[in-house]
Structure 1
Amino acid sequence: MSKNSLLKWLQEGNISIPGVLLSQYKEMNLNEHELVLILHVISYIEHGNEFPTPVELSSRMTISVAECTDMLRKLIQKGFIEIKDNYSADGIRYERYHLDPLWEKLIDQFLLSGKKEEALKIQQEETDLYTCFEREFGRPLSPFECETLALWMDDDHHDPHIIKAALRESVLSGKLNFRYIDRILFEWKKNGIKTIEQAKSYGKKFRQNQAQQRAKREDMPSQTTKSVPFYNWLEQ
């Protein structure tokens, strides 16, 4: 390659586009020809030609002038491109392509995509939660138990991870039932327990306290032992 050819290549420059346009154009109902046409429009604008003609655009593509004209019309109809009037310093009116609608749609699609991913994540966490309960109980959950799980998440706003921690706590305590788990969740919410770390720490303290109460009960005379209640979550 000669120096002149290399210089010409460098003078072509680069175009700047958000990477999210490449990852989301399909979700925005754009096909590959429309995407490439938009990229050429961006390229022309960045090189100072704000209103390239269908002839100029089609010359860089594998479509005819008529196809390019039709595609531009559809992009305008779908709200991806606008044509706006501008005025030069000496008052001469001219038209230019305006791409703000494209970027606005791209932002909306990006935010929507994030919400969809979050919704799928929550759905997966909830599915894992049901599976975790059925594994620990060794059987399918009853309709009432499924409804209770849903209430914990939807009405009480317990995080699925916290519910799993309460399930684990009930297993460690040897009291695997929904009433016991519900009481644990109630106690944690009352005491501001919102993270797995806080739940583990609170559970550890509870079991230590339980062990101390049991030791005290065993050290007491038999006639007084009966009056000492067994400490558990349900009595909190």
Structure 2
Amino acid sequence: MTMDEFAKALFKSGITSVPTLLLQHYREIGMTNTEFLIYLQIKSFSDRGVSFPATEVLAKSVGVSDNELFQTLHTMIAKHLMQINTVQQKGQLAKDAYDFSQLYEKLSTYVSQRQQQRVDQQIDTDRDAIFQQIEEEFGRPLSPIELQSISKWLDEDHYSASLIQLALKETVLNQVYSLKYMDRILLSWEKKHITTPQQVQQERENRQKKQAPQPTRSNGNAPLPKIPTFKIDDNRS
């Protein structure tokens, strides 16, 4: 067989696509290598239009005995990795089909929890950094109540670390070393829907424009100076 003939045969046999996230994390959601291989074989049959391959055919594809395949399939169902549904289409006989919706739900839950763990870890890292920065700028240790207030900004108000750091900068520039002053700044930004450093910079520029003195211009419409009027006495010599 030439390479051209092989290439044609390769593409003619079809392609089975597998989600990369599943390939990366199937062990973390409780799948064994054998269970994952069974999933791949069932997926391959499904992609070719065979929704419920015969047990002996599937066992041969996986390389296990019929009994081993049967036991593994039951284990996968018990682990909520898959289920077997009866599909009824109009004008056709009912037939069974493998359904891996539960597997994808497990994967979705795992990925979401993993992302949340990363977010929580980043918040904890930011929290420690903010504690240290404020103590350095204020020149004193923070009290337990102050530590609690800062944690509230992160956990409940969901202020970003960068926004809190900018509020600290504003506080230091105004020489008001107070956490309450920082809180007023953050609350003011929140009311104005300011959530990013770029928006803070824009707010500063707008404020500076308003505070800048307006230049005086001399033109033809400027008011003339008042000229005093005198009453002329007719008898004055």
Q: TM-score of the superposition, structure 2-length normalised?
A: 0.69
1:24 partnered with 2:25 = yes
In structure 2, do the counterparts of structure 1 residues 17 and 191 end up closer, same or farther at CA, with 3 Å as the change threshold?
A: closer
Using the TM superposition, give the Cα deviation of residue 63 of structure 1 relative to its aligned residue in structure 2, in angstroms.
Answer: 4.1
Using the TM superposition, give the Cα deviation of residue 160 of structure 1 relative to its aligned residue in structure 2, in angstroms.
Answer: 2.9
Q: Over residues 15-43 of structure 1, what are the superposed CA-to-partner deviations in whole Å (9 max), with x where a residue is unaligned?
A: 12222222332332222221121011100
5 Å matches for 1:79-118? 79-86=80-87, 92-118=93-119
Provide the C-alpha distance between the structure 2 equivalents of 1:65 and 1:56, rounded to a whole number of angstroms. Answer: 9
In structure 2, do the counterparts of structure 1 residues 176 and 208 end up closer, same or farther at CA, with 3 Å as the change threshold?
A: farther
5 Å matches for 1:153-172? 153-154=154-155, 156-172=157-173
Q: Over residues 149-206 of structure 1, what are the superposed CA-to-partner deviations in whole Å (9 max), with x where a residue is unaligned?
A: 1233445554332211111112223333324323433443455543323333445676
Unaligned runs of 5+ in 1: 213-236
Unaligned runs of 5+ in 2: 214-237
Aligned to 1:224: none
What residue identity is the alignment partner of 2:70? T
Is residue 51–residue 95 contact of structure 1 (8 Å, CA) maintained in 2?
A: yes
Provide the C-alpha distance between the structure 2 equivalents of 1:9 and 1:205, rounded to a whole number of angstroms. Answer: 64
Provide the C-alpha distance between the structure 2 equivalents of 1:190 and 1:91, rounded to a whole number of angstroms. Answer: 61
Aligned to 2:53: 52
Aligned to 2:226: none
Is residue 44–residue 52 contact of structure 1 (8 Å, CA) maintained in 2?
A: yes
Provide the C-alpha distance between the structure 1 equivalents of 2:186 and 2:125, rounded to a whole number of angstroms. Answer: 21
Structural RMSD (CA): 3.5
Using the TM superposition, give the Cα deviation of residue 97 of structure 1 relative to its aligned residue in structure 2, in angstroms.
Answer: 1.9
Is residue 123–residue 154 contact of structure 2 (8 Å, CA) maintained in 1?
A: no
Aligned to 1:173: 174
Among all aligned residue pairs of Structure 1 and Structure 2, give the percentage whose two residues are the same amino acid: 28
Provide the C-alpha distance between the structure 1 equivalents of 2:115 and 2:142, rounded to a whole number of angstroms. Answer: 32
What residue identity is the alignment partner of 1:159? S
Provide the C-alpha distance between the structure 1 equivalents of 2:192 and 2:165, rounded to a whole number of angstroms. Answer: 18
Aligned to 2:223: none
What residue identity is the alignment partner of 2:71? D
Is residue 52–residue 98 contact of structure 2 (8 Å, CA) maintained in 1?
A: yes
Provide the C-alpha distance between the structure 1 equivalents of 2:89 and 2:191, rounded to a whole number of angstroms. Answer: 67
Task: Please identify which structure carries the higher helix content.
Answer: 1
Provide the C-alpha distance between the structure 1 equivalents of 2:110 and 2:86, rounded to a whole number of angstroms. Answer: 28
In structure 2, do the counterparts of structure 1 residues 134 and 64 end up closer, same or farther at CA, with 3 Å as the change threshold?
A: farther
Mean CA deviation greater in 36-45 or 173-182: 173-182
For the pair shown, the structure with the greater C-alpha radius of gyration is 2
Is residue 169–residue 203 contact of structure 1 (8 Å, CA) maintained in 2?
A: no
